[in-house]
Structure 1
Amino acid sequence: MIQSLLIANRGEIACRIIRTARALGIRTIAVHSDADAQALHVRLADAAVAIGPAPARDSYLVGEKIIAAARATGAQAIHPGYGFLSENADFAEAVIAAGLVWVGPRPDSIRAMGLKDAAKARMIAANVPVTPGYLGEDQSAERLKAEADAIGYPVLIKAVAGGGGKGMRRVDDAAAFMDALASCKREAASSFGDDRVLIEKYILSPRHIEVQVFGDSHGNVVHLFERDCSLQRRHQKVIEEAPAPGMDEATREAICAAAVRAAKAVDYVGAGTIEFIADASNGLRADRIWFMEMNTRLQVEHPVTEAITGQDLVEWQLRVASGEALPKRQDELAIDGWALEARLYAEDADRGFLPSIGPLDLLSFPEDDGLRIDTGVEQGAEVSPYYDPMIAKLIVHREDRDAALEGLATAAGSTLVWPVRTNAGFLERLLSLDAVRAGQVTTGLIEQRLEDLRGPAGPDGDMIRVAAAGLYMTRRDETPPSFWTGMILSSDEDASASAGLAGFRLNAPSSVRVTVESLGEVSVVAFDPAEIESIYEYDERGGDAARPIELTAWGDAVLVSRAADLFAVRLAEPRGTAGAGAASDGAVLAPMPGRVTAVEVSAGEAVTKGQRLLTLEAMKMEHGLTAPFDGTIAELNAATGAQVSEGSVLVRVEPAGE
């Protein structure tokens, strides 16, 4: 067994490799960019080496720096994780030439599967079924169009050197082909330095099925069954599960046998994945499943395979790289239960899945014995604009698919992150769709059901009520705990459970009124003080009449949620007081988390409608925030260089003449 290992990666996979290596008694060395100097994987490792500035092209993608770090620290081996240089044959060769152990497949195997056209030719020779298409050397636009016409539309244009959904276009008719080809070639040249493409028949009801394979240097190759990764957005996987729903034993045997033949065709050593596309219009059938490509590395979704087989695939990698035989024979591997994984991304699903950057001031995962969290960050860390926005992977293993779906949906809905926006609420809604529950998943399902998957635009009335309760207690110097739950029970619930809550409503006369603001909207909540105590004590009373509304203290506000969609609610001055209504109407809010790069006004200054007040930098773009009308700066809460959260009030403009 190797004694020391350098991990040429970051984030959750680096943390995962470090933990497995440590359990095997292997010393670990982390590498890090300037942006990751305090990252979790750096602190977990036995040693760490800085390798350059934040951009990956200046650090994690510079093979010479990584090899130099291995030599300087006495590492025996390098594990590339996934992404970055993990499928770079030249880097693998350089590692081996430096006298180091490469924890991955042979460079020749990487090259053999790296170009999609050459890989498909090999698969045809190995009797692995491939998608109908054109793989020829003639790359003229006329020849490519003629081949597409012969295959029949719709077709898929794919970059030969592509990956990650880049350099890929669907074409539905002959009239659109030339424009799509030109666009695809430009993106392929920009992303991969190679504008060659291939043409494939586009499958109208596609499912993405992949098989985990593993080989060793003694000629052994096994499969560890299949995964279904059909739930995707923009060709990026969102939910993965193992085994694949609707897969019968005969089809499983055929597809897994084809995957083993594919691996043997390139003398494969280490962990790899054979990816197939299936036409699921009439269920999963072996004669309607075709080879797409091979990923010559560990996959992000490998934990679901680990869960159903009880094997640690990173440990397998390290043992195989040390020259050992595979830990299990094929007849010793079996499927146990069902596992699902969800990728928690820092992104706004309701705004085109735009990345969200900023500090992770709140990062809370549920506690569940059957839930595994793979993450490379902690509360207090920051999501930077330089790397993949994945925060964590949530993995659930249960006896059957229904239980696994329910467990993962609950886990996603109970995950709280702020002020960075995440897809946690989106994941819960996706996992709750009838089509997903029925196993009717395709790669186009998310796009088709986007409207059904949208989250709430803001807190509803009941959420505002519970938030007002928490803020009222704070105002009375009875600060609530940092996290508590409340519930508004409907009138038909058991009287003992809802005692004291009747009459708690918006805009109704009572002894106490609290004015709150969220996302620029002001609400007046009226209640009796005793009612507020009932809401506040909900979690002590218990009850499951409806989903709890949860509050988390957040500076001068509370974060309110009924699932994973969080909203900040703050106290506001009541309408009708001098200037207060106008001030709330003139609130200028941060449209997203970001950094204030310029403040161009000062408190008390007169401004005109449309005048720029400040500049916010978010997701590598500058956003100018302007005055909504003529008036005076009544409140200025922003300073140059400050990080601000989405929805925070940066400026208030008091209308002229008030």
Structure 2
Amino acid sequence: MIESLLIANRGEIACRIIRTARRLGIRTIAVHSDADAAMPFVREADEAVCIGTAPARESYLDQQKILNAARRTGAQAIHPGYGFLSENAEFAEAVSAAGLVWVGAPPSAIRAMGLKDAAKRLMESAGVPVTPGYYGDDQSPERLEAEAGRVGYPVLIKAVAGGGGKGMRRVDHAEQFRDLLASCRREAASSFGNDDVLIEKYVLSPRHIEVQLFGDTHGNVVHLFERDCSLQRRHQKVIEEAPALGMDPETRAAVCEAAVKAAKAVGYVGAGTIEFIADASEGLRADRIWFMEMNTRLQVEHPVTEEITGQDLVEWQLRVASGEPLPKRQEGLAIHGWAMEARLYAENPSAGFLPSTGPLRHLSLPGTIRVESGVEQGNEVTTWYDPMIAKLVVHAPTRTAAARALASACEDVEVWPVKTNAAFLARAASDLDFVAGNIDTGFIERHADRLIPGGEPSQEVLQAAAQSLLPPPGSDPWTALSGLRPNQPRDLRVVVEVGAVPHVVTLEDPAPEARTIAVGGERVLFHKGEAWSVAEPSADHATSGGISDGAILAPMPGRIISVDVAAGDAVTKGQKLLVLEAMKMEQALLAPFDGTVADLSAKTGGQVTEGALLALIQPEES
């Protein structure tokens, strides 16, 4: 068994690897950037080495610094986690060349499956069904547009490198193709350093099914069944579950056998995932499930597989890397119950899911379920890395029970002042259609109006906020009594500021369940995953006009990647003014009404802070 392990990653996955390594008696070494010096994974490792400044290219993506840290600390092996260098064949080769053990897929398999176009061609030759599309080398816009027309709209433009939902665009009409191709390529180049794309037929009722694989150096390959990752937003997974709903034994056997065949075709070793797209318009059927791509690493959602199989996949990785055979053969693996995982992100759903940054002054995560997290109260969410706060994982005998447990867990999340998607996750997990299994990858988009919380507090929140300002029961006889008649509802009107906006609330009984605590100098109310500041209204309170005055403000810190108007231009409501990039995500800022660009301070390539004035739109005179 490996005796010492350097983890070339950060956050939640570093903590996860450290936990298993410690149980196996393996010494762990963390590497970290300046920005991560106070993070839990640095403290939890047996030894830690700072390898650079906050930008990933100067720390977590600097191969030489990581190798130097391994030599300096006497590490025997390197585990890359996921993301960063986990699917970098050159780094895997450099690790082996340095005499270290690479806890990951062979470089040859990473290369074979790392580019989606080459992987599809390989799978076709191995007899694995692939999605109809174009995977050729001619990357000219003219050829790509022609191939999209041949495949038939709608199509999906997809970066051949990388993953995580970045570098993907759905195109419904030929007129959209060129603009969306350019946007996709910009994002792909920024995220993966490669702007090549492929074209796929867009399946109208798609389910995202993936199979967990494991191979060892003795020629054994097994699957650990499937996961369903269909609940997505902009191709980014939101809630994952295992097994897949509606997967009968015959279809499961066909899909899992195809995945094993794909792994054997590239001589696979270690943990990997074969991702399939299924046309679920008539349920899951073996003849309507096609290969999409292979991830040659451990997946973010691996805990749901661990929960239904009772296996520790990180332990499997470490044993395989140590030269041991797989801990289980196929006949020794079985599915037990149902598991779900929700990704808790620092983002604001009511503002288009924009990332939210800042200090975690209050952080409370549910204590009755499995929580995978890489942050703690007092840490800061920065713009440098992925904004994930935690993964909430539940296991139950049935899917219905798992959904109920997940919704309850998401409602129990308390985070302040950073905004999160907890309420959105709770709504999704408790949605009647989700619980009934009426899902595909378009579920969130179709039901956004009922899943995404609005920017205004609900009546339940207002009631709870107003109740929180009242004296404790019995402390004030004049407010504790209602006309001296027993069992009568109180008839009180209370003015309360929620989210810095005053509201007049008529109190009702019973009061909604909520928790109000002091965080610093603020009173904060937590209710079903939401968080609101609560205060008694100030005498000089005034509301702001917001965007209605035509001020276009940066919704988050980032870089201006394009400016589409000039000062003096006439614009129409909804017209794109400029595009801001932050955390490798593009956000288009639009004109709020018809008018004229009276002022323009945004410049292409410029860095801006949150709230910075980028442009001013003067409304048309009526």
TM range (shorter): 0.7 to 0.9
Instruction: Name the structure 1 match of 2:408.
Output: 410
Q: 1: CA distance between counterparts of 2:241 and 2:190? A: 33
Q: Which runs of 5+ in 2 are unaligned?
A: 547-552, 558-606, 615-622
Q: Aligned-residue CA RMSD in angstroms?
A: 2.9
Deviations 1:570-628 (A, max 9, x none): 1234xxxxxx2xx1126799x99999xxxxxxxxxxxxxxxxxxxxxxx96242599xx
The answer to whether the Cα contact below 8 Å between 2:33 and 2:51 also exists between their aligned partners in 1 is: yes
Please show how residues 248-647 of structure 1 align to structure 2 within 5 Å: 248-368=248-368, 371-460=369-458, 463-473=461-471, 502-506=489-493, 515-523=495-503, 547-573=512-538, 580=539, 583-585=540-542, 621-624=609-612
Structure 1: unaligned runs, 5 residues or longer: 479-487, 492-497, 508-514, 536-544, 574-579, 596-618, 627-658
What is the CA-CA distance between 1:502 and the residue it aligns to? 1.6
Task: Return the offset for 1:384.
Answer: 1.2
Aligned to 1:99: 99
Task: Flag the 1:421–1:620 CA change in 2: closer, same or farther, 3 A.
Answer: farther
CA distance in 2, matches of 1:546, 1:419: 24
> After alignment, is 172-181 or 325-334 more displaced?
172-181
One-letter amino acid of the counterpart of residue 621, structure 1: T
Number of residue pairs matched by the alignment: 554
Q: Is 2:126–2:265's contact at 8 Å kept on the other side of the alignment?
A: yes
Q: Which residue of 2 aligns with 1:148?
A: 148
SS at match of 1:396: strand
Within 2, Cα distance between the matches of 1:556 and 1:195? Answer: 48
For 1:455, give the aligned amino acid: P
Q: Structure 1 residues 133 and 463, CA, compared in 2 at 3 Å: closer, same or farther?
A: closer
Secondary structure of the 1:30 match is strand
Answer whether contact 1:116 1:161 (CA < 8 A) is retained: yes
Match in the other structure for 1:540: none
Q: Is the 8 A contact 1:220 1:326 kept in 2?
A: yes
Letter in 1 for 2:526: S
Q: Is the 8 A contact 2:467 2:511 kept in 1?
A: no
Secondary structure, counterpart of 2:331 in structure 1: helix
* Residue equivalent to 2:618: none
User: What's the CA shift string for 1:60-100, capped at 9, x where partnerless?
Assistant: 11011011001000000000000110000001100000000
User: Percent same amino acid at aligned positions?
Assistant: 65
Single out whichever of 134-143 and 444-453 deviates more from structure 2. 134-143
164-173 or 246-255, larger mean C-alpha shift = 164-173
In the alignment, the residues of structure 2 paired with residue 570 and residue 31 of structure 1 have an alpha-carbon distance, to the nearest angstrom, of 43
Deviation at 1:144, TM superposition (A): 2.6
Partner of 1:47: 47
Residue 477 of structure 1 deviates from its aligned partner by: 11
- Change in Cα spacing, 1:381 to 1:251, as seen in structure 2 (3 Å) is same
AA of the residue aligned to 2:436: A
Q: TM-score normalized by structure 1?
A: 0.79
Give the structure-2-normalised TM-score.
Answer: 0.84
Post-superposition CA distance 1:463-515 (Å, at most 9, x none) = 445434444549x999xxxxxxxxx9xx9xxxxxx9667214325xxxxxxx5
Structure 1 Cα separation of the partners of residues 309 and 455 of structure 2:
41
Question: After the TM superposition, which of the residue ranges 303-312 and 547-556 deviates more from structure 2?
Answer: 547-556
Alignment of 1:228-247 (within 5 A): 228-247=228-247
1:35 to 1:246, Cα distance in 2 relative to 1, 3 A: same
Deviation at 1:456, TM superposition (A): 4.6
**Cα distance change of structure 1 residues 152 and 469 upon mapping to structure 2, 3 Å threshold:** closer
CA contact (8 A) 2:135 2:198 kept: yes
Counterpart-to-counterpart distance in 2, 1:193 and 1:253: 37
State how far apart, in whole Å, the 2-side matches of 1:116 and 1:189 are. 15
CA-CA distance at 1:551 after TM superposition: 1.5
Deviation of 1:10 (Å): 0.6
CA drift of 1:381 comes to 1.3
Q: Which moved more, 1:445-454 or 1:190-199?
A: 190-199
1:36 corresponds in structure 2 to 36
Q: CA deviation at 1:282?
A: 0.8
Question: Residue 425 of structure 1 aligns to which amino acid in structure 2?
Answer: A
2:226–2:256 Cα contact (<8 Å) kept: yes
Aligned to 2:4: 4
Distance in 2 (alpha carbons) for counterparts of 1:623 and 1:361 = 21
Larger radius of gyration: 1
The letter of the residue matching 2:49 is V
Separation of aligned partners in 1, 2:204 and 2:49: 48
Between 1:139-148 and 1:441-450, the stretch displaced more is 139-148
2:276–2:289 CA contact under 8 A, matched in 1: yes
For 1:241-286, what per-residue CA distance to the aligned partner results, in whole angstroms no more than 9, with x for missing partners?
0000111110000000000001011100000000000011111000
